[in-house]
Structure 1
Amino acid sequence: MKKTLFIFLLLAFAINVKAQNPTLKSITLGKKISSQCVACHGDNGISVIEEAPNLAGQKELYIWNQLRDYKSGKRQNEMMTIIAKNLTDDEMKDVAAYYGQFKITVVPPK
């Protein structure tokens, strides 16, 4: 019984770690899909318009959850709802992987 439980927990952990580590393929696909995002969120996730948030520095899981919420109607924004409804779950994960790779560094003012 203990051996079965150990194997189950080990597999569950391995699957969870895999789900949290985006592949290069996922990031590459996300970059292609993000061509419809850059007008507002910028090439590297730094917003080019005041109304759109920066995506750089956001966690991949956060971005994916927001896209799912727009698609389901849980979160409301006319433009984002239209975009999210046209994405599959895998495409949302790819976009999240792409933007989630960008890190920002906060530099304190001098």
Structure 2
Amino acid sequence: MRSTRPKAVQLLLSSLAALSLLAACGNVCVAGDVKAGRAKALMCQACHGLDGLSKVPDAPNIAGQPEPYLVAQMQAFKSGARKNDAMSVVAPSLSDADIEDLSAYFSAIEISVGKLPGG
């Protein structure tokens, strides 16, 4: 069944739900294994890269995102609450441990901001 809500509204609602989960659980919500996540991330590299930086226009950069946020988003894809063609194929095959490990790995990637334009 196709939703009548615009994509922007759906994304906003998903993001708000994830942020409220993040605020509710703080830093004690997840405990994924970074090393196991790196091994599992090979399946993510075509879109997100091993560095967590988008390789295709529709994939977000996920490097350095908070671990609970990444867990919440992948669980939303797995449950079908959040929709994306690629993630709808990948997410259902992920166990809860896979989701935690992938989230731990991508959140552990250190990112930095270089010189901002116009500055």
TM range (shorter): 0.7 to 0.9
TM-score by length of 1: 0.75
Q: Counterpart in 2 of 1:65? A: 72
Q: Look at both structures and tell me which one has the larger radius of gyration over its CA atoms.
A: 1
Counterpart AA for 2:40: I
What is the identity, as a one-letter code, of the residue corresponding to 2:96?
A: D
Aligned pair count? 92
Aligned to 2:85: 78
Cα pair distance change 1:17/1:42, threshold 3 Å: closer
Percent of matched pairs sharing the same residue:
35
CA offset digits 1:45-84 (Å, max 9, x no partner): 0111111100112111111110000011110112102211
Which residue of 2 is the match for residue 34 of structure 1?
A: 41
Stretches of structure 2 that go unaligned for 5 or more consecutive residues are 1-25
Identify which of 45, 53, 60 aligns with 1:53. 60
Displacement of 1:104 in angstroms is: 1.7
Normalization by structure 2: what TM-score? 0.70
Judging by fraction of residues, say which structure has more helix: 1
- After the TM superposition, which segments of 4 or more aligned residues of structure 1 sit over 4 Å from their partners? 16-22
CA contact 2:36–2:101 (8 Å) conserved in 1: yes
Unaligned runs of 5+ in 1: 1-15
Residue 63 of structure 1 aligns with an amino acid whose one-letter code is: L
Structure 1 position 92 matched with structure 2 position 99: yes
